[in-house]
C-alpha cells in the first residue's frame, strides 16, 4: 500500500472495513497520542484464516479449535490488522476507543485504550514478520501521524509488561521510522 489516508471519521479508505462491536467512545477524542503494536494469529501460529476477524467481531466459536474454547468469551478489538501479505483490515474508527490494550500503563498513564491506536500484525513471537507487513505498517503510521498528534509508538509488551510479550522478539523496530 503506497497511499493510505485516514479521513475525518477516522476511517482508512484503503482498508477493508469490518466493524467490531468491541469499541466505544474515547473519554477525550482529541487525546490520541500513542500507537501500540501487537501480534496475533488464530489459531496460534497459523496464518491466513478468519480467526482474528471472528475474535474481533464476537463470532469465534469455542468448538472450532481447542484454543478458541479458552478465548471465545473475550470482547476485544483493534483499530487495524495487517495480514502477512500486507492486506489492511480496519475494525474501529481511530476516533473511537478499540479494546486492544487491556490493563495497561504508558509513562504513568493507565488505560492506554483511552489514548492509543492499536495495530495488530498477523504473526507470533516465534518468527519474523513479512516485508509487506512492514511496508503497510510504515505507510499506515505515516497516515495516522498526519491525522493525529501521535507522540510515541510502542509495543504491547511495554504497556503491559509481564502480561504481554508482543509484538515479540522478531519484530524489527529499526524498520519503523518515527
Q: Which amino acids are annotated catalytic?
A: 120
What SS3 state is found at 137? helix
Distance (Å, rounded) from C-alpha 138 to C-alpha 131? Answer: 11
Contact 140/13 with Cβ under 8 angstroms? no
Contact 89/79 with Cβ under 8 angstroms? no
Nearest partner of 178 among 148, 129, 132, 141, judged by Cα: 141
Distance (Å, rounded) from C-alpha 158 to C-alpha 26? Answer: 21
* DSSP tag of 174: G
Distances (CA, A) of 160 to 16, 36, 97: 29, 11, 17
Amino acid at each position: 500500500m503506497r497511499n493510505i489516508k485516514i479521513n475525518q471519521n477516522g476511517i482508512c479508505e484503503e482498508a477493508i472495513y469490518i466493524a467490531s462491536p468491541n469499541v466505544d467512545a474515547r473519554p477525550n477524542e482529541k487525546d490520541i497520542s500513542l500507537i501500540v503494536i501487537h501480534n496475533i494469529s488464530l489459531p496460534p501460529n497459523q496464518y491466513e484464516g478468519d480467526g482474528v476477524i471472528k475474535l474481533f467481531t464476537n463470532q469465534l466459536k469455542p468448538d472450532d479449535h481447542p484454543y478458541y474454547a479458552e478465548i471465545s468469551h473475550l470482547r476485544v478489538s483493534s483499530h487495524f490488522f495487517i495480514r502477512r501479505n500486507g492486506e489492511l483490515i480496519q475494525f474501529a474508527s481511530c476516533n473511537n476507543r478499540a479494546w486492544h490494550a487491556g490493563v495497561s500503563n504508558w509513562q504513568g498513564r493507565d488505560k492506554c485504550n483511552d489514548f492509543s491506536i492499536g495495530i495488530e500484525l498477523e504473526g507470533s513471537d516465534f518468527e519474523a514478520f513479512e516485508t509487506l507487513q512492514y511496508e503497510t505498517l510504515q505507510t499506515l503510521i505515516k497516515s495516522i501521524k498526519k491525522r493525529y498528534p501521535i507522540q510515541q509508538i510502542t509495543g504491547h509488551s511495554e504497556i503491559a509488561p509481564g502480561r504481554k510479550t508482543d509484538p515479540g522478539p522478531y519484530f524489527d523496530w529499526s524498520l519503523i521510522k518515527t
